[in-house]
């Protein structure tokens, strides 16, 4: 089993802590996300993400033998907690991360960009959306690009949050091109995509 090497920092324990923080952020921003989604869809994105992240925070990954096993446990827990299209994409991302980290007990921050890239590719295959459609995929792509060559947690967090926020701002005045929102493309201009907004909240842990 590989324990990975330089800059090793992303561990099962870090994942567990991240899941707990994600649930806290989604719980605090549940209504905000529901309101954003209500302008374009069913108005339940916040509730779905609060439910999904609660399932992740409750999943017991302490005994996972490696990161791959931990991500797989999270994918299983997430799948049981959601049936929505966005939830399915997030579970798909967790499964891709599980495959990419199988046998590794830790990875370096310099390995985060390709890991996010692998998750993005899986999400594109699963959901059928393309970059530029104004979905969470655009923000995930920006994050993957921003994380190239980072080597520490503080820099990774700052650059990821900045990239997600910049993408949210860049796409605000563009129409949604896929999903239910595409039926109201003109109405979506000037509105934040709920998935993008959720990612911004998760990465910044704040407004």
CATH code for the domain of 173: 1.25.40.340
Residue 3 lies in a domain: no
CA distances from 14 to 6, 95, 106, 173 (A): 17, 18, 10, 36
Residue 138 lies in a domain: yes
Residue 34 lies in a domain: yes
Per-residue pLDDT, averaged over 27-36, amounts to: 97
Residue 51 lies in a domain: yes
Residue 14 lies in a domain: yes
User: What local confidence, expressed as pLDDT, does residue 182 receive?
Assistant: 54
User: What local confidence, expressed as pLDDT, does residue 20 receive?
Assistant: 97
For the cut 80, the answer to whether the pLDDT of residue 207 exceeds it is no
Per-residue pLDDT, averaged over 166-171, amounts to: 97
Residue 83 lies in a domain: yes
User: What local confidence, expressed as pLDDT, does residue 1 receive?
Assistant: 46
User: What local confidence, expressed as pLDDT, does residue 72 receive?
Assistant: 98
Range of the domain at 137: 8-204
Q: Average per-residue pLDDT in the chain?
A: 92
pLDDT-derived band at 177 (thresholds 50, 70, 90) equals: confident
For the cut 80, the answer to whether the pLDDT of residue 73 exceeds it is yes
Cα 132 to Cα 139: distance, rounded to the nearest angstrom: 10
Q: What are phi and psi of 72, to 5 degrees?
A: -65, -40
pLDDT-derived band at 205 (thresholds 50, 70, 90) equals: low
The total number of structural domains that make up the chain: 1
Residue 2 lies in a domain: no
**Burial of residue 154 (number of CB atoms within 10 Å: 0-12, 13-18, 19+):** exposed
Helix (H, G, I), strand (E, B) or coil at 104: strand
E strands in the chain:
8-11, 106-108
How far is CA 16 from its chain centroid?
15
User: What local confidence, expressed as pLDDT, does residue 8 receive?
Assistant: 63
Proportion of the chain above pLDDT 70, given as a percent = 91
User: What local confidence, expressed as pLDDT, does residue 77 receive?
Assistant: 97
User: What local confidence, expressed as pLDDT, does residue 114 receive?
Assistant: 97
């Amino acid at each position: 089993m590989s324990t990975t090497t330089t800059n090793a920092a992303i561990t099962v324990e870090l994942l567990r802590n991240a899941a707990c923080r994600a649930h806290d952020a989604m719980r605090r921003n549940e209504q905000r996300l529901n309101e954003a989604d209500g302008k374009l869809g069913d108005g339940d994105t916040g509730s779905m993400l609060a439910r999904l992240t609660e399932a992740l925070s409750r999943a017991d990954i302490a005994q996972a033998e490696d990161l791959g096993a931990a991500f797989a446990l999270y994918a299983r827990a997430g799948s049981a907690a959601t049936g929505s299209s966005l939830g399915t994409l997030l579970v798909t991302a967790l499964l891709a991360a599980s495959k990419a980290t199988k046998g590794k007990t830790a990875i370096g921050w310099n390995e985060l960009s390709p890991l996010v890239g692998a998750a993005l590719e899986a999400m594109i295959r699963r959901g059928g959306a393309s970059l530029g459609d104004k979905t969470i995929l655009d923000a995930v792509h920006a994050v993957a690009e921003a994380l190239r060559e980072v080597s520490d947690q503080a820099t990774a967090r700052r650059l990821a949050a900045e990239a997600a926020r910049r993408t949210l701002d860049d796409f605000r005045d563009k129409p949604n091109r896929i999903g239910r929102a595409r039926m109201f493309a003109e109405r979506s201009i000037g509105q934040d995509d709920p998935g993008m907004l959720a990612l911004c909240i998760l990465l910044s842990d704040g407004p």
